Amino acid sequence: MKKKLTFLCIFLLFCTILLIISFNHFILPIMTDVCSKYAVTRINNEISSAADKVIEDMGITTSDFTEEITNTDLSHININSLLINSITNKITAEISENMNELSNTEIRLPSGAFSGIPLFSRLGFSVPLHITYMGDAKADYETSLTSAGVNQVSYQIWLNIECNVSVVSPVFSKPLCIKRKLMLVNTIFNGKVPEGYANINIQ
């Protein structure tokens, strides 16, 4: 009887160790990858939503960012830096607000999604997931002025946005740094590439 009990204990211990090793080597990496991809997609949607809302509320268009060019040789381009700074700050604040709301929301993913088999991706019990926002969103802008063909100039403005979050599930926690490049302006001017361009505050 004691030998059977000892054998059963050893067998159960072996099975437990085998399950832990299998989970760590096969299930956990897939689970981490699926949750991370979901978090990145969700956060990118929040960033896009925040930018769209701010632009709509401010009622701005591409032409608001640059002064009208009257000289045919494009000796200079004047940029409304005040407006760019304003929209950058407002989008950052809106993203932070959206992310704080997301932090208070429990997300549930089907356990079948962690099997790595698409057929089972919508099956199984629900696994709770939290996306915890860490600090405030960061944003800065950059501009580009390049030749876009014969006597044409391409002018672009991007927002470089960075969010730091932590993806938390019952079995793991993973920090993520999501960086997004969001285009604000992509326009074409007629003329040659100017030697420089200036930042101004257009009233």
Could you tell me the pTM of the whole model? 0.73
**Residue 42 pLDDT more than 60?**
yes
Cα–Cα distance, 107 to 132 (Å, whole number): 11
Separation of alpha carbons 188 and 12, rounded Å: 70
For the residues 97-103, what does the mean pLDDT come to?
85
Per domain, the residue ranges of the chain are 2-200
Residue 91 has φ and ψ, to the nearest 5°, of -65, -40
What residues have CB less than 8 Å from 86, skipping those under 6 apart? 58
Which of 20-24, 64-68, 92-96 has the highest average model confidence (pLDDT)?
A: 92-96
